[in-house]
Structure 1
Amino acid sequence: MATEFGGKSVYGAVLGILMLEARFPRIYGDIGNATTWPFPVQYRVVKGASPDKVVRKDPMLLVDDFIAAANELVESGCDGITTNCGFLALTQDRIAKAVPVPVATSSLMQIPMVQALMGPGKKVAVLTISKTTLTPAHMKAAGVSNLDEVPIFGTDGGRAFTRCILDNHEEIDFDACRQDMIDAAREIVETDRDIGAIVLECTNMVPYARDVRKVTGLPVYSIYSFVNWFHQGLMPQRFPLELDDPRAGLF
């Protein structure tokens, strides 16, 4: 019998998600809907961290609260930490230094990797919930160095998406949100033909990633793609094949 080691309170849910304190509904595909994930996750709500405070104001004022919640998740058995807001890229360095496990605060951290996938002359565009408050500091904190080559688009002027989420509405017209995303996607491809891929900053945009892909014809990366990759490092897929199984590639 193999030796097993303890030391955790919870087993089998190695990914911890730091959540803003919000009341808006979270549909399938949203990071805050636990059925979105193909694996178990653990959540911690950071009290007082509203969407407005994190996106429109300075999330660094709340960084100690995020660190405390992250350490609670680690104590509960998590081997990796993520968050439910791309603007928390600003907290990446502080949280990563304060907890003993890997931290992936923002979907924006994918930008350098996505850029490396494309040929010369192609750009990675960002679609954000708030173009007006996404700053170079956020991008630099996410590891983006070529700021002039990363165009930013937003849903700020749309019907519902930005307003309903940042103002924390308890009722949301998700058809209107979908149309906001489609309109923004069209703006992206109509503005710059050198754009070769899109990164969705906002974790609430995941349910519409396929719509963006359909409208633009471009690869679309989100917190869903990022966290699935992140989780594979925390819990690699097991392939218990018998040696005589043809799938083992030995015959």
Structure 2
Amino acid sequence: MTIARGGKAIYGAPLGILMLEARFPRIPGDMGNAGTWPFPVLYRVVRGASPERVVLQGARGLLPDFIAAAQDMIALGAEAITTNCGFLSLFQAELAEALGVPVATSSLMQVPWVQATLPPGKRVGCVTVSRSTLTPAHLRGAGVPEDLPVEGTESGREFFRVLIKAEKDDMDVALAEADILEAGRRLVERHPEVGAIVLECTNMPPYAAALREALGLPVYDVYSMVSWFHAGLRPQRFAVP
């Protein structure tokens, strides 16, 4: 006899994603596009947590809102929590303490893992949406060295002004990709020791393959991190001969 156990409202989606409140297009590959993931996920939008407020203003005053939204998803059935902004590494310790489940706030958390794979003399570099506001506190929150080579997209034509400044609701995808590629090229020109790149922004995975092709370097992003994170929640079952 098989006994089905209850206790949750939603089953089959162990990962909860805390979303910023935004209206820009979330194309395939974007963390906020549910079709990006090969497994079901839960989403919860944190009202008032705009990209500008989180990225440019340090997410001041928003920690209780993120905790409450995550607790709601855990009550529904989430077994682990991640977020859709790498700048929320500021809240990594606080969320992990408050929620009592595994928490991975930022793609930046991959930096130490990737660094361990590189040969001597090579370093991880980072492409972020906003170099000017990615502070040592953000890096410390993710367990990243404060001298991490970083390049941002603020000087681009499309990505920053659509995603962070919310100047319009549509986006020229080709221009957005060009902004990411230009930031990556500046990064390796200024830091030739860079041997792999971690993309901070959760909206950058659609452009990771183009960046890998352009620079010839491994590129990691929130897709690679969340795929790893989820793998521990639902390990693959293999048929035993």
TM range (shorter): over 0.9
Q: CA RMSD in A?
A: 1.1
Tell me, what secondary structure is at the counterpart of 2:195? Answer: strand
Residues in 1 aligned to 2:52 and 2:240: alpha-carbon distance in whole angstroms: 53
Q: How big is each residue's C-alpha offset from its partner over 1:154-191, in whole Å with a ceiling of 9 and x where there is no partner?
A: 11101110111002231111111011111112212222
Distance (whole Å) between structure 2 residues aligned to residue 193 and residue 94 of structure 1: 36
List runs of 5+ in structure 1 lacking aligned partners: 244-251
SS of the aligned residue for 2:62 comes to: helix
Contact 1:127/1:200 (8 A) holds in 2: yes
What corresponds to 2:42 in structure 1? 42
What is aligned with 1:123?
Answer: 123
Give the match for residue 63 of structure 2: 63
Partner of residue 249, structure 1: none
- Corresponding position: 1:221 with 2:213: no
Partner of 1:48, secondary structure, is coil
Aligned residues: 240
**Residue in 2 that maps onto 1:195:** 194
Residue 236 of structure 2 is matched in structure 1 by: 237
Distance 1:167 1:154 in 2: 14
Larger radius of gyration: 1
1:91 and 1:59 mapped to 2: Cα distance? Answer: 9
The answer to whether the 8 Å contact 1:9/1:75 transfers is yes
* Counterpart Cα distance in 1 of 2:96 and 2:211: 31
Contact 1:60/1:90 (8 A) holds in 2:
no
1:112 and 2:133 aligned: no
Match for 1:127: what amino acid? V
1:85 is matched with 85
1:242: Cα distance to partner? Answer: 4.6
Deviates more, 1:186-195 or 1:40-49: 186-195
- What fraction of aligned residue pairs are identical, expressed as a percent? 56
Q: Which residue is 1:157 aligned to?
A: 155
1:246 alignment counterpart: none
